[in-house]
Amino acid sequence: MMSKKLIDNLIRASSWFSIGLGVFVFSAVLMEVGSATDALGRAVFTLSSLFTACMCNLMVIWLFERMKLTEAPQFTICRYAVSMILMLLVSSGFNILYIELNRIGWLPQTPLLRFSQTKFYLYTVVQTAMMSGIIWILHGYILEQDAKVRAELENSRLMASRTEAAYQMLLQQIHPHFLFNALNTLKSMIRKYPDQAEDYLIRLSDFLRASLSTGNQEISSLKDELKLCEDYLEMQRIRLGSALQVRIDIGENEPADRMLPVFSLQPLLENAIKHNELTEESPLHIDISVEDDWITIQNNVKLKTITENSTGSGLANISERHKLLTGLNIRIKDTGPEFSVSLKMLKQI
């Protein structure tokens, strides 16, 4: 169905087209007969007849849309034929009216009225065909532009839907990935440190409860992400003690509207702990800092000779979700002794 905006655009274009031709006729008649009154009368007459013809074509378009007729070639030809007939009737009616007004002396005698009646009406048919063609092209252009805009909007909606679907699919990978690693750690602790394993399990339960509260959110506040990090670090301190040293260099005055992809910082901490050897004599140092709307997690590197079981999707998942939300790649810097990952923080709208 035709929208109100589309109809308004068609009426506006018809009005300006009619006014423009009316001004042209006024100028032409003024130069021909030298009478401003006669020129104004002919201009108003032309403007009225042309605007009425435009409205007839608009009515035909609206009726065909309402009847839900397709845009197949036969219907296009049919619509043009109906418009032509209506505009011919309108043009003939206005010309007959013009003749009568001229006969009683209200309008000037134009060269056309000196022709025979047959030639005059033949001229009317030719004139109507030309005008209807121009009106058809004008309205057709507006309809085509409207269809193009609607198609672009629909494509944008589809792209947004696909992006959201892709993001949700990535989001669904987060908890299974974390749970896989956490359960591997718990299994190892049960064999070696059964007492600590019980505390770890309690912390894990609390952490999962807090992390699941995010639901299907795409982003969360910096404060909430840091809270998840703190909860996760409490779990790790149970088994690692002073072998894990974490410094969070983020001031309390950091704007509250900073947002991050949900559950994006904790996996970076997890990767650092999982891939590096750490002991009380040679601890793992992790620094979390903010600079120019980027948050960075940096750690010293001492890679394990034997790697733990892993799904391998943690960093890739964060990178893809970050790019979907910000349009930017995460910054990864590996100097050898140190490794860091930086994420662009969003501003809450």
Question: Domain boundary residue among 161, 180, 202?
Answer: 161
What's the whole-number mean pLDDT along residues 270-278? 88
User: What is the model's pLDDT at position 337?
Assistant: 92
DSSP state letter for 309: P
Instruction: Give the model confidence (pLDDT) of 44-57 as tens digits.
Output: 877 888 888 888 88
**Is residue 131 domain-shared with residue 241, that is, in the same domain?**
no
Which pLDDT score is estimated for 347?
A: 82
Highest mean pLDDT, choosing among 12-16, 38-42, 103-107: 12-16
d(CA 171, CA 121): 73
pLDDT at position 300: 94
Q: Which range marks the domain in which residue 219 is found? A: 172-347
Percentage of the chain lying above the pLDDT 70 cut: 77
Residue, of 232 and 332, whose pLDDT is higher: 332
- Bridge pairing between strands 284-291 and 346-347: unpaired
pLDDT value at position 73? Answer: 58
Pair (72, 125) in one structural domain: yes
What's residue 18's pLDDT? 86
Q: Let me know if 155 is exposed, middle or buried by CB neighbors in 10 A (0-12, 13-18, 19+).
A: exposed
How far is 347 from 255, CA to CA, in rounded Å? Answer: 9
Q: What is the mean pLDDT of residues 73-81?
A: 70
Q: Which of 284, 293, 282, 226 is nearest to 255 (CA)?
A: 293
- Rounded CA-CA distance 256/121 in Å is 77
Residue with tokens 């010293």: 300
What's the CA gap between 138 and 61, in Å, rounded? 13
| pLDDT digits 0-9 by tens, 142-179 | 888 888 888 788 777 766 555 555 555 455 555 566 67
In terms of pLDDT, which residue wins out, 213 or 231?
231
pLDDT of residue 72: 55
Structural domains of the chain, count:
2
166 within domain boundaries:
no
Q: What does the pLDDT read at residue 104? A: 73
Last residue of a domain, one of 161, 182, 204: 161
Q: What is the pLDDT of residue 121?
A: 63
Residues 295 and 316 both lie in one domain: yes
d(CA 119, CA 124): 9
Q: Is residue 76 part of a domain?
A: yes
Contact partners, residue 5, CB within 8 Å, separation at least 6: none
Q: What is the pLDDT of residues 298-333, one digit of tens each?
A: 999 998 876 655 555 668 878 888 888 888 899 999
Whether 167 is in a domain gets the answer: no
Here the CATH number for the domain that contains residue 187 is 3.30.565.10
pLDDT at residue 254 greater than cutoff 80: no
Q: Which of 308, 309, 331 is nearest to 318 (CA)?
A: 331
Q: What average pLDDT does range 71-91 have in this prediction?
A: 72
Q: What is the pLDDT of residue 285?
A: 94
CA distances in angstroms from 280 to 199, 239, 277, listed in the order given: 20, 12, 11
Residues 231-237 have a mean pLDDT of 84
Mean pLDDT (whole number) for 183-194: 80
| Kind and range of the H or E run holding 77 | helix 73-103
Render pLDDT for 88-124 as a digit per residue (tens, 0 to 9): 787 777 777 776 776 776 665 555 445 555 666 676 6
Specify whether 147 is located in the same domain as 20. yes
User: What whole-number percentage of the chain has pLDDT above 90?
Assistant: 10
pLDDT of res. 77: 74
Q: Residue 42 in contact with residue 29, Cβ under 8 Å?
A: yes
Domain termination site, one of 111, 141, 161: 161
- The answer on pLDDT for 224 being more than 90 is no
Task: Give the pLDDT confidence score for residue 94 in this predicted structure.
Answer: 76
In this structure, the answer to whether residues 87 and 228 fall within a common structural domain is no
Q: What are phi and psi of 284, to 5 degrees?
A: -90, 125
Residues 149 and 178 in one domain: no
Is the torsion defined by CA of 32, 37, 42, 47 positive or negative?
Answer: positive
Residue 295 vs residue 6, higher pLDDT: 295
Residues 9 and 148 in one domain: yes
Mark whether 88 and 225 lie in a shared domain: no
Query: In sequence order, what DSSP letters do the residues of 2-68 get, joined into one string?
Result: --HHHHHHHHHHHHHHHHHHHHHHHHHHHHHH--HHHHHHHHHHHHHHHHHHHHHHHHHHHHHHHTT
